[in-house]
Structure 1
Amino acid sequence: MDMRQRLIDAIQIWANENLYTAAPGKAPAAMPEELNQLFYAFISKLSLSLMEDEENFYGYFFFQMGKKTDWDLRAPTAVTFEHTQYVLYFHPLLFLEQTPQQMISSIKHEILHIVFQHLLRSRDLRQHYSKLALNLAMDAIVNTYVDPVPEDGETIDRINNQYGLFLIPYDTLEDYAEKIQRGIDWKERSKTTTTDHITETADKEPRFDIRHAHDLWEQLDTQDPQVLVKFTEKYLDTASQGPLSPHLAGAIAAFKSLNKALPWQTYLSRMAGTLFCGTRRTTARLNRRQPYRLDLRGELHHYKARIIVALDVSGSISDAEFHQAMQEVLQIVRSMQVKITVLECDDQIKKAYPVRSLRDLQKRHPYRGGTAFSPVFAYANAHKTDLLIYFTDGQGEETLSVTPGGYKVLWILSGHSKGLSLRNPCGIVKRLQPQEDMTLSELDDPHADGYSMNNQEPVAFI
């Protein structure tokens, strides 16, 4: 009997005696240290085989990751980012019951989610598509590049058969998610039910559920996207020790070129997409899931996210830079329920006023005092802020005298800035593109109105 089968039998006996018989509400006993050591020894053998493979990228990437077990998983493996490390979680039985080739595919599957930036991109798309549609779309993409597909893995063919779709390989995540969402909605309108994505156990719990396969990613909502980008690039550089397949080389090159000069607008869009805007029931809108049920109420947003836009009037942010930036801010949040307040400040707050459109922007007074960032943070703390966008040349305090109150912070430095003086910015720091100053009358030219990303790098993902 091989090591894998002996390990499966030992863990299965322990699980039957301790895990599945735990009293309701009582945490089951932890797996014995001896079994843990045997399991991780087996994982180490898989890691070694990956590193000895001709394409050793996955082996070197896997070597850098933390490894943990989680009996609550609804998939053989799952990945997340904790503290300063990517961690690969295993459901011991679901993982070991696969063939050795499928185990390796499961590990590659999770690493590809990282390479394709699905952990961050799913957060941005979550407000537009259901969890099931997103999970199916992401797994369909990564499983295109692994062979054999992991146990119960979703494929394009399986999704097409399940939802009557015509998905083709190598499409984008957004296109997949949109088409799959339409298929799911059609299925629900047809009042059909499916259990194709759930495999039942002989006991009481479902063994695999694609709807919850990536639940660990929800803890990343409080994670700074820039931190994930930096650590991902470090992992990629360390793992790229040998030849790469075309799809890996292309994905890594796209990752680096995109994030090297990722425009501040993209970060703002990501941050704004995570702001909570609550809902309320209404008869003025049809139910999204069942539009033919006129007796069911739809939903409307009822909470306005509070955004503060602080303008450092002592620095070198020109009228043209600020006007153009505000135009793009308003465009990004145009479909959201938001309340925007503009603060003019130097070493203290000089003016505060609400803004709903570009016409509400007031003429800036020629303040020329020093710069202090703390008064703006004190104001934000006192006004239940969700997002603070700070336009500045970056030269001010080195340490804040107040602690930010849990809201997101995006620093946008002038194009000629020497950098942010704060040692701990408590947020993401990006730059404006330098541009010549213009008068407000020129900026208000209707022919120049509107939003364009033509001057930015294309954002294209697998």
Structure 2
Amino acid sequence: MTPVDRNNLIADGVKKLLDQAPIYGNIILKLGRVMDAHAKAPFGLCWQSGSWQLVVNPRLVQQQYATPEQIALALAHEALHMIWQHPTRYANVTQRQVVVDYGTDVAVNQYLPTGLGTLPNLVTRQSIWTDYGIQLAPHQDSAVYITELAQHDVIRKTSGGGDETSHVGWQNIAGDLPQAQSALGTLVQQATVPVHSIGRGQLPVPVQRALAALTTPLLPWHALLNMGRHAQPDQHSLTRTRFNRRQPYRLDLLGTTPRYSPQLAVFIDQSASISDAQLQVMQAYGQQIVSSFGHGVQLYAFDSKVQPLSSAQYLTRVANGGTTFQAIFDALQRKKLTPKDTKVVIFTDGAGENTALKTAFQDVFWVLPPDQVLSIQAPFGTILPLL
């Protein structure tokens, strides 16, 4: 295969990807391109000279891929890593690299376009079961897979079309992590704009939710929620500027200073009246609040009942019934949260019961789509038309 034939094969692969999954193809087109004959995988991602690059080893491309469809699948693999922010999430890893490699590959390979056939030797849930006897649940975040794989003696066995060695470029970020994170979000957001109405709807729902988490604009939640009050100390930091409370005469012992996290209870409406598109944005905003305020935030899903959401569940629909707002305030009372020290944030379309609510919680923020109104009698709190 001549260099011209090889370049034509890559170009045809990009065209195939644009036909099957336009957003994936646009992400690839937005990347710079670096030819590296020493790269250990046909394709990979790296942060270089202030921008994201697609690293291509022409020799390995020629060896491993024979058709445009295979090229398209390999490029879709890289685009999915970008959508789930794997290069920045795992730029500095504490687990063994093989565990991170396999966990991230299993996560994205579940969502490769089905209309392009298959790639041989992919790292998948099935290959992990065959090689190691580890049964991984479907459609989980990479963090879940990494946690599970870290509990086993996993060594490298599988390789091929989403080769784990393509991840070495993720470690090139070093001190540029904030810039790299911002650039990644901007790149994906720009890639989704031309095909927002059509291309996104053709993707698997988990991919749509990951895109929403990445492309939903970051809002100033500290200002919107009037934070700075209603905070209680929830942990303490060691310091030499204070005496130790238990042994104040021991000058060699460190004292402590209180650290404050706001008491925030965030509820996301997952009832049947909420569309997938609305839920994606609500979940993205909920995760923004968690990221902004840390572990002091309690995240819940609700319809007619309330249930806690873990970090592994926040992009999943876990309810689908009718909406009852009173269930939120009953749950707060059961959890013995105090009204004067708790802010309540409720993401909803406003369609619930039409009776007045019975609650002492008044520091409430209702986050509604534009032009929507609350169904309850005697509305209270603050309405934020953010969606």
TM class by shorter chain equals 0.5 to 0.7
Shift of the alpha carbon at 1:451? 5.4
8 A Cα contact 1:143 1:154, kept in partner: yes
Instruction: Say whether residues 1:49 and 2:16 are aligned partners.
Output: yes
Change in Cα spacing, 1:225 to 1:232, as seen in structure 2 (3 Å) is same
Match of 2:143 in 1: 174
Match of 1:214 in 2: 167
Letter in 2 for 1:220: I
Give me the whole-angstrom Cα distance separating, in 2, the residues matched to 1:115 and 1:356.
Answer: 44
Give me the whole-angstrom Cα distance separating, in 2, the residues matched to 1:262 and 1:139.
Answer: 33
Give me the whole-angstrom Cα distance separating, in 1, the residues matched to 2:137 and 2:158.
Answer: 20
Counterpart of 1:113 (choices 62, 81, 86) is 81
Instruction: Say whether residues 1:66 and 2:24 are aligned partners.
Output: no
Match of 2:256 in 1: 357
| Secondary structure of residue in 1 paired with 2:77 | helix
Match of 2:218 in 1: 260
Letter in 1 for 2:256: S
Matches within 5 A, 1:9-48: 35=3, 39-48=6-15
Shift of the alpha carbon at 1:432? 7.7
Counterpart of 1:243 (choices 199, 202, 210) is 199
Give me the whole-angstrom Cα distance separating, in 2, the residues matched to 1:66 and 1:145.
Answer: 24
Structure 1: any 5+ residue segments left out of the alignment? 1-5, 8-34, 188-193, 200-206, 265-316, 331-338, 343-353, 362-430, 434-449
Shift of the alpha carbon at 1:171? 1.5
Shift of the alpha carbon at 1:175? 1.7
Counterpart of 1:197 (choices 158, 172, 182) is 158
Counterpart of 2:111 (choices 124, 145, 149) is 145
Change in Cα spacing, 1:263 to 1:357, as seen in structure 2 (3 Å) is farther
Give me the whole-angstrom Cα distance separating, in 2, the residues matched to 1:57 and 1:81.
Answer: 21
Question: How many positions carry a matched residue from both structures?
Answer: 253
Give me the whole-angstrom Cα distance separating, in 2, the residues matched to 1:263 and 1:122.
Answer: 26
Change in Cα spacing, 1:249 to 1:329, as seen in structure 2 (3 Å) is farther
| Secondary structure of residue in 1 paired with 2:297 | coil
Which of 148-157 and 227-236 deviates more?
A: 227-236
Shift of the alpha carbon at 1:88? 0.8
Change in Cα spacing, 1:110 to 1:54, as seen in structure 2 (3 Å) is closer
Give me the whole-angstrom Cα distance separating, in 1, the residues matched to 2:91 and 2:221.
Answer: 18
Letter in 2 for 1:122: Y
| Secondary structure of residue in 2 paired with 1:224 | helix
Match of 2:91 in 1: 123
| Secondary structure of residue in 1 paired with 2:44 | strand
CA offsets 1:8-61 (integer angstroms, 9 cap, x no match): xxxxxxxxxxxxxxxxxxxxxxxxxxx4x664444333323333x053112222
Change in Cα spacing, 1:102 to 1:48, as seen in structure 2 (3 Å) is closer
Give me the whole-angstrom Cα distance separating, in 2, the residues matched to 1:196 and 1:360.
Answer: 46
Counterpart of 1:162 (choices 101, 107, 131) is 131
Match of 2:72 in 1: 104
8 A Cα contact 1:103 1:150, kept in partner: no
Shift of the alpha carbon at 1:229? 3.1
Shift of the alpha carbon at 1:170? 0.4
Give me the whole-angstrom Cα distance separating, in 2, the residues matched to 1:451 and 1:239.
Answer: 31
Give me the whole-angstrom Cα distance separating, in 2, the residues matched to 1:138 and 1:220.
Answer: 18
| Secondary structure of residue in 1 paired with 2:45 | strand
Give me the whole-angstrom Cα distance separating, in 2, the residues matched to 1:154 and 1:59.
Answer: 22
Give me the whole-angstrom Cα distance separating, in 1, the residues matched to 2:51 and 2:32.
Answer: 7
Counterpart of 2:181 (choices 228, 235, 239) is 228
Matches within 5 A, 1:375-386: none
Shift of the alpha carbon at 1:263? 7.9
8 A Cα contact 2:85 2:184, kept in partner: no
Change in Cα spacing, 1:168 to 1:355, as seen in structure 2 (3 Å) is same
Give me the whole-angstrom Cα distance separating, in 1, the residues matched to 2:50 and 2:101.
Answer: 25
Letter in 1 for 2:121: D
| Secondary structure of residue in 1 paired with 2:147 | helix
| Secondary structure of residue in 1 paired with 2:152 | helix
Change in Cα spacing, 1:149 to 1:260, as seen in structure 2 (3 Å) is farther
Change in Cα spacing, 1:461 to 1:130, as seen in structure 2 (3 Å) is farther
Instruction: Say whether residues 1:454 and 2:298 are aligned partners.
Output: yes
Shift of the alpha carbon at 1:255? 2.2
Matches within 5 A, 1:274-285: none
* Backbone CA RMSD of aligned residues: 4.1
8 A Cα contact 2:81 2:87, kept in partner: yes
Q: Which has the larger radius of gyration?
A: 1
- Identity level (%): 16
Change in Cα spacing, 1:153 to 1:196, as seen in structure 2 (3 Å) is same
Shift of the alpha carbon at 1:111? 0.6
8 A Cα contact 2:106 2:142, kept in partner: no
| Secondary structure of residue in 1 paired with 2:54 | strand
| Secondary structure of residue in 2 paired with 1:45 | helix
Match of 1:272 in 2: none
CA offsets 1:171-200 (integer angstroms, 9 cap, x no match): 22222112112222xx6xxxxxx662368x
8 A Cα contact 1:173 1:461, kept in partner: no
Shift of the alpha carbon at 1:163? 1.4
Counterpart of 1:83 (choices 35, 41, 49) is 49
Letter in 1 for 2:96: S
Letter in 1 for 2:296: S
